[in-house]
Amino acid sequence: MDQIKKLQAGELFRKYGALIVLIIMLLINAVITPNFVHINTMWNVLIQAFCVLVISMGMTFVIATGGIDISVGSTMAISSIIFAKLLIEMECSFFVSILAALLAACIFGAFNGVLIGVFNFQPIVATLILMISGRGIAQQFNNGAVISFYGNKYSDIGTYRIGGLVPIQVIIVILIIAIALFLAKNTTFGLYVQSIGDNSTASKLVGIRTTAIIVMTYILCAFLAGFAASLETLRICSADPNNIGNNMELDCIAAVAIGGTPMSGGKTIIWGTVVGALVMQLITTMMNMNNIFYAYALVIKSAIIIIALYLQKEKTQ
Amino acid sequence: MDNEYILEMKGITKQFSNVEVLHQVDFKIKKGEVHALMGENGAGKSTLIKILTGVYTKDAGQVFFNGEEIHPSSTLEAQQLGISPIYQEISLIPQLSVAENIFISREIKKKGFIDWKEIYKKAEEILKDLGINIDVRKPLRSYGTAIQQMVAIARSIMINSKMVIMDEATSSLDDDEVQILFNIIRKLKSQGISILFISHRLPEIFEISDSITILKDGSLVGEYPTSSLSRTELVSKMIGRNAEDVVNYKRTNRQIKDEYYLRAKSIKSGVKLRGINLDIRKGEVVGLAGLLGAGRTELARVLFGIDHKDSGSIEINGKEISFKLPREAIKYGIAFCSEDRKVEGIIPNMTVAENLCITNMKKVSYFGVINKRKCSSIAEEFVKKLRIKTPSIAQNIKNLSGGNQQKVILARWLSMEPDFIILDEPTRGIDVGAKKEIEDLIRQMSSQGISILLISSEFEELVRNCDRIVVLRDGMNAGILDGNDISEDKIMNLIANGNMAVGGN
């Protein structure tokens, strides 16, 4: 029991490495970045991080099964264009439009899941298929053209602030994180996901429907991608199948990795992913607000990721 | 330095997060001797060896090898010094060929390129020396565990080592293969190579070792010439209590009602099962004996729905069934404790409580939401009942000793209150103390009316625990032993000669 009392520095870093980096970054920014300590800056960071935060919740479950989903960016493009097409051009109801966008995302998620869970494709290859084809499919919906809807009756929803203060995205993202935490910690689904990632043979032998669980994680991930895409479309009042969600898969995977969820699976560290996503966004915000040249920004971003990963690397005995 | 010894470890101490796992241990091996290291699981054997092979670093003490003090900091460094470990879990690369596995990291090169011809030739020679004739170009995974073990040994011989460490090297071998291994050991010994031998099988220790060092709870109990110890004395020293009752437990014949739980008829599947019959009555312990590859595990896998039968019928409680998946068998109240605890049993990074409750989620969850308190109380109950040694139920199962992991797996299945449990080598690789507890548990379960199929390579274990023993040979029934007919001799005889004397199927 003494081991618990004496959390050594090394163990502290390993457990809270990402959080420590986040706090340090907040402190540095508070000092060097002008106007950083302002509620609007905080809201902006959260709004900008919205998509990564939401989708990386799903990505955490996918990675915990030992898988990976690199098609989330393309899924976003598909959902975004379907949503805007129905809502703006075909003038369907808001409800029908978002339902269609989410349904499409789920179908593509199921496609990933079936390739991986049923046909045993390697996850990175299986989702590569949709990553490549997804943007093509998205462009087909509107012949590659962007749908914009400034000044439309829907154009204020995405920038709505509850009580004139809290952006709608912040409330939604908190809800989604809470649900993800609950799923991971308190449900059989969360337990089975970790069990499959940790030892899939044993999981099958204890009677877990491993295939179904794997398919579900990919559907969940795609669903969240579709959901984030729809909200993002509303916020920026345009659906651009070429650009929405570009590099989203990489940002999400990085967020999960920084958060300490092992790529080999077996653990869902939801809080870590939240911190990871915020770290990623803070770096970008810091670079932007300090007018650092984009090319340098990328290098600094990588350096900070390396530090975060190094801090929590498993100590050898 | 005294030159008589190849290895001297003095005052070795090691802590893991403030828990002392080795306390001032002295350990010496003479040149050209087979030295057994004994102790229960958790006694510190593995840690001592990992320090010796550079996996862990010691906190205090000295290690002398061949007269010089060494501080290996990696297995590679230890190998270069001449210390070759062959681990419990075979650490080879299944996708690579046999020859590649033997020569990996020390490939023979010609002008900077790998000289495959030479490698294949040498690999073949080395294996032939060990009495094995196989195609060294085939991937390792196309051979069975026994061959893989031999390849691991070939690899360490190739390194030209002065000392070979065999950590449970025999645990996956059958008797013939063990004899081949022992011949190899004797050969190595005659070449002046020392062998550090670890095994849970006592007869092997007495057959092959020259001296024995015993550890208990991280401390040295003592070093003894093998000839000076009796089997009972050895066990007593290992577990620190009188072991008469472990070794000398006598079987008792029980009356079992003639009510069948399971009747399997002429089960065929692939080349391994060629028409096996098996009957199990309610509350009966039926043993399944036979050599490796006789179809024991294969039959169990068909009964549990992991593999599928090509023909034949299985009746449970008089109803014909056919499981496509383990989960269907589980729903029917069947449990399966696999022989490969690491790969098919534990979920290593999950807690004892989670590992215990995972088959039983229906009971502890409501619409997919887990009732953690209920899960914990079930876990606590079984930890107490089976005397599972763990700091808490929140401990990850991988940190428990083998015997305690096995108890958690047993508890996992017991908690779902099964009608029938298949135990495939339930005591493999676990120490004498835990072994007795698991055998006690088998009797307890059967007295509660649970039917049990016990698969074991240890005849003693079968004789001690079974009401009936079904002997398999080459995927077919070789005979059945009942009541007073049950003895090690008769099992052996059936395996060797088949069903001539004893009336059966």
Residue of B392, B388, B397 whose CA lies nearest to B349: B397
By the CB < 8 Å criterion, does A194 face chain B? Answer: yes
CB contact under 8 A, B343 and A201: yes
Query: What's the CA angle centered on B226, arms B223 and B227, to 5 degrees?
Result: 130
Residue type (1 letter), B399: N
Q: Which residue has the higher pLDDT, B293 or B47?
A: B47
Is CATH 1.10.3470 the right assignment for the domain spanning A17-24+33-311? yes
CATH architecture of the domain formed by B259-333+419-505: 3-Layer(aba) Sandwich (3.40)
End-to-end CA distance of chain B: 65
Does the structure show a pLDDT above 60 at B75?
A: yes
What are residue B288's DSSP bridge partners?
Answer: B455, B470
pLDDT tens digits for A75-89?
A: 999 999 999 999 988
Is CATH 3.30.70.360 the right assignment for the domain spanning B5-245? no
pLDDT tens digits for B229-258?
A: 887 788 778 776 655 555 555 667 777 788
Find out whether B355 and B408 touch, Cβ atoms under 8 Å: yes
Look-up of token digits 């579709």: A226
Q: Write down the pLDDT at residue B208.
A: 93
Residues of chain A positioned with their CB less than 8 A from the CB of B335: none
By the CB < 8 Å criterion, does B416 face chain A? Answer: no
The phi and psi torsions of B351 (rounded to 5 degrees) equal -75, 170
Residue type (1 letter), B42: G
Contacts of A111 (CB under 8 A, 6+ apart): A130
Q: How far apart are CA A204 and CA B491, in angstroms?
A: 34
Of B304, B347, B391, which has the smallest distance from its Cβ to A202's Cβ?
A: B347
Does the structure show a pLDDT above 60 at B315?
A: yes
End-to-end CA distance of chain A: 19
The CB density around residue B382, as the number of other CB atoms within 10 Å, is: 23
Of A6, A191, A317, which has the smallest distance from its Cβ to B358's Cβ?
A: A191
Of A186, A187, A206, which has the smallest distance from its Cβ to B358's Cβ?
A: A206
What are residue B452's DSSP bridge partners?
Answer: B285, B421
Mutate to test the interface with B, among A6, A12, A206, A220 (most CBs of B within 10 A): A206
At residue B156 the predicted structure's pLDDT band, cuts being 50, 70 and 90, is confident
Same CATH topology for B5-245 and B259-333+419-505: the answer is yes
By the CB < 8 Å criterion, does B7 face chain A? Answer: no
Helix, strand or coil, per DSSP, at residue B368 = coil
pLDDT tens digits for A167-178?
A: 999 999 999 999
Mutate to test the interface with B, among A188, A213, A216 (most CBs of B within 10 A): A188
The bridge status of strand B273-281 relative to strand B420-424 is: unpaired
- Least confident stretch, A150-154, A281-285, B298-302, B497-501: B497-501
Secondary structure element (H or E) that encloses residue B432, with its range: helix B432-447
Domain boundary assignment for chain B:
5-245, 259-333+419-505, 342-417
Distance from CA of B412 to the nearest CA of A (A): 9
Query: What's the CA angle centered on A252, arms A247 and A255, to 5 degrees?
Result: 130
C-alpha dihedral sign at B112, B97, B85, B204: negative
Domain boundary assignment for chain A:
17-24+33-311
Average pLDDT over residues A303-310: 81
Q: How far apart are CA B503 and CA B505, in angstroms?
A: 7
CB contact under 8 A, B358 and A267: no
